[in-house]
A and B are shown apart, each in its own frame.
Chain A
Amino acid sequence: MTMPTTVSGNRGLQLEQNLIFEQDTPGMTAVDLPAAPKVIERLGDMKSTRRIGLPGMSEPDVVRHYTRLSQKNYSIDSGFYPLGSCTMKHNPRLNEKMARLPGFADVHPFQPVSTIQGALELIDTCAAWLKELTGMAAVAMSPAAGAHGELCGLMCIKSAHEANGQGHRKIVLVPESAHGTNPATAALCGYAVEAIPANAEGRVDVAALRQHLRPEIAAVMITNPNTCGLFERDCIEIADAVHEAGAYFYMDGANYNAIVGRLRIADLGVDAMHINLHKTFSTPHGGGGPGAGPTVLSPKLAPFAPVPQVVKIGAGFDSEEHAGFGTAKQSYGRMKGYHGQFGVFVRAVSYMMAMGIDGLRQASGDAVLNANYLLARLGTEMTAAFEGPCMHEAVFDDRFLKGTCVTTLDIAKALIDEGVHPPTMYFPLVVHGALLMEPTETESKQTLDKFIESMLHLARKAKAGGAEAAFKAAPMYSPRRRLDETKAARKPILRWTPSEPEANGNGARQAAE
């Protein structure tokens, strides 16, 4: 099927937009500034008169540029986004409004402590919710995202081992089904990684885990609920075995949304767990961050938490900013600038307060209900990878596509034409051709029913045969059709560069040389 072409390349509401560098009006700016006071410069020999190469545009053209770009994005605001392991739930605008209060947004990290009591109280409030929800002794607020939280947890674990004369423990056990950040984090913390297999039920093989436990093991990292969408039923037994072997139990909290308000992870024997505020606590994903990954810690690990730490003093607050001092005597140090992802904390607290404990409990219930509804309804045409009930994610494998030429990727791309953001594809790695669906609690039954209708239609169409060409051609209706990723990687073009005649000796390439 060929689309009719237009002179402009536009397709009605789908408007083509050149790069800003191709819209340059030299000398133009969208920012007018007051006049500078007349002074004698003090730049020494460091003044530059180079042409940087930034394009000039007017305000209306800039607004139109980004508005048009935004319209080429799929988002939670526009539709169903069941991207597994990412918890794409509704992002309340109240959170944005709160983060923009001048008392939160227009505050500098190094103001005198007497002028930032409200900011420290906000961090303390966020910490108090997280500690109460998890039952854990302490929470490190520094980590900037989930992977950074994993690093925080492992740094605490390594510090604790070293403090206890257990520095010879050099190996971290990670299940095969784990997110890639787990082994990458362990490596970044100076650990070797050993994989532990999953059993046929999609859970950690406890017997195999026990066989791996030995005096060289520093920690076990387990995602729970796991990446197969299942709760690790044996987690208390696992925690006990891990502790008996002298190692620590790191629980990856990427899927905390399924259990928040249901149980306290302290009761599972967890030593450390990061919490993705941008997942469970509704702060926006922003096209890839910023997130925040506060890491809750057991009493054994709490003394090693990073700085800074908010300290309660009488009716007020102070900030301990140095390892080796005060509450941070044994702290392993600093892992990020300033006071953590403060703006994300404001949004998370705004959400926690709005939801309340009853709302959070209802949310995890609805998230799990929605996922099980998908598992049950889609299981008629698709093949569920594991037996239910699932937690807040339903994972399907590609057995239902066996004998067809249609792949998981094709199904995903066809879903785009149906107006849905595809689920996570080919992850977890232990499930062949996986489609990992996380509907979240903020989707209505109507939305789910429409998605189910599309999904069942595609599954039947694939199985009926004869539609391979149509599948391979999908998506047809998105701003771009399938993109050539091999070409992008083979000859990487990672930035705009002026074409030869335009360069005129002022081009960026030459400036770089």
Chain B
Amino acid sequence: MRYLPLNDTNRREMLAAIGAGSVDELFRDLPKAALASAKFKLPNTASEIEVERALGVMAAKNLSCGAAPAFLGAGNYRHHTPASMDYLIQRGEFLTAYTPYQPEISQGTLQAIFEFQTQVALITGMEIANASMYDGATACAEAVAMACRVTKRGAALVSGQVHPHYRDTTQTTMKFLDIAVECLAPDPAGIEDLIGRITPELACVVVQTPGFFGHLKDHTTLAEACHKAGALLVVCVTEPVALGLIKPPCQMGADIVVGEGQSLAGPMSFGGPGVGLFATREKFLRQMPGRLCGETTDEDGRRGWVLTLSTREQHIRREKATSNICTNSGLIALAFSTHMTLLGEAGFTRLAQLNHAMAVALAEKVEKIPGVKLLPSAFFNEFAVVLPKPAAPVVEELAKRKILGGVPVSRFYPTYPEVANLLLLCATETNTIADIDTLVGALKEVLS
């Protein structure tokens, strides 16, 4: 087996040094009965070419977004990946290192984390950010848990414009802590009243910008109402590219900003792995979950970086830790950071403008299709439309024509028949005007 360097001569010599007769002897603490009953119906070792063949066949059964005009968003976005980004994250020194427990020989990862923390703080406008969470949905749950610690309260209100997976993940996680999470009904029209529902028991209100159905909303008055009631405002961002063009959460008074970094961190990869972004105010630092990298100096007085404030974390605090997270999403955070560095301020804002322009170009054509109604008046690169018939079969019809024509909202809300005709459409810089024309032509046919 090509991954295993020992040969039988080595094994014999090593067993002799140990004083054991066989490798099996080293397993003598394992229960005999369990050893005897262990039979596995699994294939034996395969060559590289055989593995490539088998997985190639499996991969070919999928319709990849590069092979069809694709307009899918709903929290997972297809953006162009610069070639140098994918090269850099595959450098073995990044790819095959682990958590920087030994800072003297991990300065590369640590400096990259420090830069990542700064970039996340800058785009959200918040004071500090951590080294990453698993994904946006789990980061949202962590934010609610943190808000409960900060306010010493045990309830949360989640807007109907928050991504359903973020809502579900938060609700699941919190129910085991007996924290009451009220998730409002899906709000495609963007009319829900959050301020009127604020109570003195609430630890936080959770909103999303841009909203799940595309709405761009200013949450400044909501933030003020939250703060007046002693609650925090948690803002989710599922599409961080938007932050290159729209008012950042900090300017609305957000206390915690969480998000999904996948859109800037490489391929969609069927939704995982992503990278959870987590930013907040400096005064909440001690209640923050996850790893933090900080600046310091070495014995020679040279600047360097270390993991810090780990007294918040599980390996020190055990059951009193701010979270149980250990392994996070290091490499995807590096991908995010590398892409942000390649973009810079000019590239990031231009990318955001291009995304918005493509989405407007799409909206202009889609809203002219008879019977189709665009819901948000202000949006970034994604918006919900009402179709004259249920969206799920329409999407299936489009797929038969090799077009990935959006995400039917019914997929998330099987118990809300009122969303059956809603379709989420997204356009990014990876789409062309020709793609848009193909989609619009096919939609007209399918809807007629």
Contact = CB atoms under 8 A, between A and B. Distances in A.
Interface string A169-201: 000000000011101111111100100000000
20 contacts: A33-B350, A39-B357, A48-B247, A69-B109, A74-B93, A101-B59, A106-B66, A106-B267, A106-B268, A132-B41, A150-B324, A181-B324, A190-B176, A268-B34, A287-B330, A338-B75, A338-B135, A389-B28, A489-B311, A495-B128
Contact of B399 (A112, A278, A362): A112
Nearest to A104: B59
Contact of A443 (B5, B66, B70, B75): B5
A267 B34 contact: yes
A21 B111 CA distance: 12
Contact of B295 (A42, A358, A493): A493
Interface stretch (A204-212, A243-251, A340-348, A461-469): A340-348
Interface in A118-144: 118-119, 121-122, 125, 129, 132-133, 144
B104 A31 contact: no
A482 B109 contact: no
Nearest to B414: A322
Interface stretch (B195-203, B222-230, B360-368, B439-447): B360-368
Among A66, A151, A350, A354, the one with the most B-chain Cβ atoms within 10 Å of its Cβ is: A66
Among B40, B267, B399, the one with the most A-chain Cβ atoms within 10 Å of its Cβ is: B40
A180 B262 CA distance: 29
Contact of B344 (A28, A67, A184, A484): A28
Given A75-B95, A101-B59, A492-B292, A262 B30 contact: yes
Contact of A56 (B18, B169, B321, B346): B346
Interface string B61-89: 11111110010101110100010101110
B272 interface: yes
Contact of A132 (B40, B96, B356): B40
A263 B31 contact: yes
A51 B332 CA distance: 26
A19 B177 CA distance: 41
Contacts of A81: 98
Given A53-B122, A151-B324, A103 B61 contact: yes
B37 A264 contact: yes
Contacts of A431: none
A477 to B, nearest CB: 9
B19 interface: yes
Given A59-B82, A286-B95, A288-B100, 9 more contacts: A20-B341, A65-B341, A69-B109, A88-B96, A106-B66, A144-B138, A184-B318, A424-B101, A511-B125
Nearest to B285: A492
Contact of B84 (A59, A94, A349): A59
Interface string B201-241: 00000000000000011100000000000000000000000
Interface in A461-505: 473, 475, 478-485, 487-489, 492-496
B1 A355 contact: yes
A163 interface: no
B33 to A, nearest CB: 7
Contacts of A353: 43, 46, 50-51, 54-55
B270 A69 contact: no
Contacts of B358: 36-37
Given A72-B108, A475-B104, A372 B407 contact: no
A83 to B, nearest CB: 6
A117 interface: yes
A3 B338 CA distance: 33
Contacts of B341: 20, 30, 55, 57, 62, 65-66
Interface in B29-61: 29-31, 33-35, 37-38, 40-46, 48, 50-52, 54-56, 58-61
Among B3, B94, B268, B357, the one with the most A-chain Cβ atoms within 10 Å of its Cβ is: B3
Interface stretch (A227-235, A295-303, A396-404): A227-235
A180 B308 contact: no
Given A180-B314, A355-B45, A90 B3 contact: yes
Among A101, A150, A290, A343, the one with the most B-chain Cβ atoms within 10 Å of its Cβ is: A290
Nearest to A478: B104
B308 A492 contact: yes
Contacts of A333: 168, 171-172, 175
A484 B296 contact: yes
Interface in B107-121: 107-109, 111-112, 114-115, 117-119, 121
Contacts, number: 735
Interface in A311-355: 321-322, 325, 332-344, 346, 349-350, 353-355
B310 to A, nearest CB: 8
A36 B356 CA distance: 9
Contacts of A336: 134-135, 137-138, 165, 169, 272
A191 B52 CA distance: 45
Given A334-B165, A353-B51, A445-B10, A290 B84 contact: no
A233 B109 CA distance: 39
Interface in A18-38: 19-21, 26-31, 33-34, 36-38
Contacts of A230: 29
B72 A111 contact: yes
Among A37, A96, A421, A443, the one with the most B-chain Cβ atoms within 10 Å of its Cβ is: A37
10 closest residue pairs by CB, A with B: A338-B271, A103-B59, A286-B331, A77-B92, A44-B378, A118-B61, A109-B271, A288-B330, A29-B347, A290-B273
Contact of A107 (B37, B52, B64, B119): B64
Interface size class of B (residues with CB under 8 A): 35 or more
B191 interface: no
Contact of A342 (B118, B131, B272, B350): B272
Contact of B20 (A91, A116, A389): A389
Among A52, A71, A129, A291, the one with the most B-chain Cβ atoms within 10 Å of its Cβ is: A52
B277 interface: no
Nearest to B338: A66
Given A37-B361, A42-B378, A349 B100 contact: no
Given A20-B115, A267-B33, A344-B272, A27 B356 contact: no
A59 B169 contact: no
A228 to B, nearest CB: 12
A424 B98 CA distance: 12
A354 B50 CA distance: 8
A108 interface: yes
Given A48-B247, A70-B94, A372-B18, A54 B344 contact: yes
Nearest to B177: A190
Contacts of A289: 132, 134, 273, 327-332
Contacts of A116: 62-63, 270
